[in-house]
């Protein structure tokens, strides 16, 4: 399947191999389109859906007065957040302090560049696709550390130190588990991984169950979902911003637009995590009847719902416990999973 920029250039009549300027333009247009979709999703998720979902979990109603189902709170919140004063505390380490908030959404958006979202919406399809996704999404920790350290606030500092410990402890299991999927698919290319899941695994009572890797290897799926919770920093692993302990962790000193960027970055990362889970384990945009993009967004939202559920019902663990679970539990399990998968794939194939 051709990528989004190629489609755009074909639509504009320049063919599959357009001149350079057209290539750049169509890539920009494609990127803008994907970014718009994601920002819209975040705008719905951040101010509105999160409130509604948390309220449903905690027996409340939440926003209901502004517009239908309180949807216009999105506008009200946007105005509120953007019109707030941007407070720059004395003694912050600029420009690191200013750059940090941009790094978070940036890294998440970059990750989406290679994710196939169905209906041919994929910006690029490099051969090392899945490795690229993990590489850029890990950049977010850099933003958190930079922000926390540059704030010259002890709570921020503690939060960013926690973020480092957490991401080291959990990114290795995350990537190793993803590697086991790569073994199953036989390729790092994201489109190949999705294609490998389109075959039929079994037929139960006339229903074709697709060969989604979540069905093929549920153990790896579970491992990945847990590690992903740590990656996006949600309960029980929300140590980096741990409200009630560290005030707001690494983002304590950020206000106004900078806060919005951090907030946006967090949501984009949850979505990216959902997108990776959907791509690796849930057949990407595959699904019956509805167009692929709808299925894809539905899968992302399922993961988002899961993180909100955890947030409402699961206690936060302590940093030493987190590291213990990461290094002594998850790491061992993920390597066991990798070796086992390699043996099975090697013997069967």
Contacts with another protein by CB under 8 A lie at 54, 57-60, 154-155, 158, 162, 235-236, 238, 242-247, 308, 311-321
What residues contact residue 95 under an 8 Å CB cut-off, 6+ apart? Answer: none
Q: Which is nearer to another protein, 158 or 225 (CB)?
A: 158
Tokens of 188: 């790092």
**Closer Cβ to another protein, 17 or 244, answer by number:** 244
Contact partners, residue 265, CB within 8 Å, separation at least 6: 101, 103, 104, 105, 106, 107, 108, 140, 143
Rg (CA), the chain: 21
Other C-beta atoms lying within 10 Å of the C-beta of residue 164: 16
CA-closest candidate to residue 138, choices 232, 50, 7: 232
Smallest distance, Å, CB 191 to another protein?
A: 37
Give CA–CA dist 1/15, Å, rounded.
15
Contacts of 206 (CB under 8 A, 6+ apart): none
Query: Which is closer to another protein, CB of 222 or CB of 314?
Result: 314
Question: Toward another protein, which CB reaches closer, 236 or 292?
Answer: 236
Closest to another protein by CB, 240 or 286: 240
Shortest reach from residue 223's CB to another protein, in Å:
17
CB of 77 to another protein, least distance (A): 17
Q: How far is the CB of 308 from another protein (least distance, A)?
A: 8
Residue 289 CB, nearest approach to another protein (Å): 34
């Amino acid at each position: 399947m051709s990528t989004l920029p190629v489609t755009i250039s074909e639509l504009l009549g320049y063919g599959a191999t357009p001149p350079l300027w057209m290539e750049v333009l169509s890539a920009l247009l494609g990127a803008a389109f994907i970014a718009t979709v994601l920002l819209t999703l975040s705008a719905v998720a951040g101010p509105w859906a999160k409130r509604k979902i948390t309220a449903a979990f905690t027996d409340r109603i939440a926003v209901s007065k502004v517009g239908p189902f309180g949807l216009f709170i999105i506008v009200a919140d946007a105005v509120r957040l953007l019109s707030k004063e941007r407070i720059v505390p004395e003694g912050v380490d600029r420009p690191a302090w200013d750059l940090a908030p941009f790094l978070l959404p940036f890294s998440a958006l970059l990750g989406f560049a290679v994710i196939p979202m169905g209906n041919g919406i994929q910006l690029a399809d490099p051969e090392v696709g899945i490795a690229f996704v993990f590489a850029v999404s890990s950049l977010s920790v850099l933003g958190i550390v930079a922000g926390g350290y540059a704030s010259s606030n002890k709570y921020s500092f503690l939060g960013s130190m926690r973020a480092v410990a957490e991401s080291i402890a959990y990114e290795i299991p995350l990537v190793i588990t993803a590697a086991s999927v790569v073994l199953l698919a036989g390729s790092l290319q994201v489109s190949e991984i999705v294609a490998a899941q389109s075959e039929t695994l079994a037929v139960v009572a006339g229903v074709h169950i697709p060969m989604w890797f979540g069905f093929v290897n549920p153990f790896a799926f579970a491992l990945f979902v847990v590690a992903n919770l740590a990656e996006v920093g949600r309960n029980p692993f929300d140590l980096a911003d741990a409200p009630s302990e560290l005030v707001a962790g690494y983002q304590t000193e950020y206000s106004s637009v900078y806060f919005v960027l951090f907030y946006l970055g967090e949501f984009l990362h949850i979505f990216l995590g959902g997108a990776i889970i959907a791509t690796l384990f849930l057949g990407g945009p595959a699904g019956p009847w509805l167009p692929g993009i709808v299925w894809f967004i539905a899968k992302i939202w399922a993961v988002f719902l899961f993180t909100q559920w955890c947030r409402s019902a699961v206690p936060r663990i302590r940093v030493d416990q987190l590291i213990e679970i990461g290094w002594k539990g998850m790491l061992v399990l993920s390597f066991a999973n990798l070796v086992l998968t390699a043996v099975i794939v090697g013997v069967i194939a």
